[in-house]
Structure 1
Amino acid sequence: MKGRLACLLACALLATPAGAQPVSATERAPEEETILPEGEGRSETFGYCTVCHDTALIRRSRFTRRQWDGLMDWMTERHGMNPLEGEFRVLIVDYLAQHFGPAQAPQRGRNPFLN
């Protein structure tokens, strides 16, 4: 399970166009909480997660609740994130699973060039 989560996160992190230069935190426009969908846990998720990365990583991820929960442990073990525990963890994981779960993947329209 942890290996699969690591692979999924690594793929998300590496999904940068070829030749693109990383943008430093000082060059990025500051994000606002409203970039995330409304819902219980939005403020907490934004405040806790954006200490280490921007919301683009969250917004392009589509994990199950179990995967989001496991990802919290992986980030703690591998990247030194402060452990999320108790009700605070439940709030953030529930928010992520509700708004960035597999069922919420954007629906792609039919290709107009195919008949």
Structure 2
Amino acid sequence: MKKVVLAFVACLSLWGTEIDKETGLKVAKGLEEVKANCTVCHSANFIIQSKLNRDEWLTTIRWMQDTQGLWEFDPQTEDIILTYLSTQYPQSNTSRRRPQLDKSLLPPK
């Protein structure tokens, strides 16, 4: 598995995308905030595989805050995190994953 990750990182660096060696996330503005607030509870692979738009990332954050004990962010930190996630890991039309359900369609807490 480690060889596969190293090969993936090497391929991305050939495409000009710098990858954080600690997490495997793309190096860009907001990475440190994402590392400090997101990878504390789960693997960066969750982020890499999710591929959501900004509203879906926000819905995911709110779900984690409502049900998983994620702390609230100040508005500036939340904007930095959402901008990083939606820019570096945007929703992809080639994804086989269905779009997230609207919050109104989810069961009550």
RMSD: 1.9
- Tell me the residue number matched to 1:71: 60
| Gaps in structure 2 of 5+ consecutive residues | 1-20, 96-109
Residue 46 of structure 2, aligned match among 49, 57, 81: 57
- Tell me the residue number matched to 2:22: 32
CA gap of 1:43–1:64, structure 2 versus 1, over 3 A, is same
CA distance in 2, matches of 1:43, 1:94: 13
CA distance in 1, matches of 2:27, 2:69: 28
Contact 1:62/1:104 (8 A) holds in 2:
no
Could you say what secondary structure the match of 1:102 adopts?
coil
Q: Deviations over 1:6-55 (max 9, x none)?
A: xxxxxxxxxxxxxxxxxxxxxxxxx714x111111011101211110010
- Tell me the residue number matched to 1:91: 80
| Gaps in structure 1 of 5+ consecutive residues | 1-30, 107-115
Consecutive aligned runs of 4 or more in structure 1 exceeding 2 Å deviation: 103-106
Q: Deviations over 1:57-95 (max 9, x none)?
A: 110011000110111111000101001231000000110
CA distance in 2, matches of 1:55, 1:79: 17
Between the two proteins, the alignment pairs up a number of residues equal to: 75
Q: TM-score, normalised by structure 1?
A: 0.59
Residue 70 of structure 2, aligned match among 49, 56, 81: 81
Letter in 2 for 1:54: S
CA gap of 1:70–1:85, structure 2 versus 1, over 3 A, is farther
Contact 1:72/1:83 (8 A) holds in 2:
no
Q: TM-score, normalised by structure 2?
A: 0.62
CA distance in 1, matches of 2:47, 2:68: 16
Q: Percent identity?
A: 25
- Larger Rg over CA atoms: 1
Could you say what secondary structure the match of 1:80 adopts?
coil
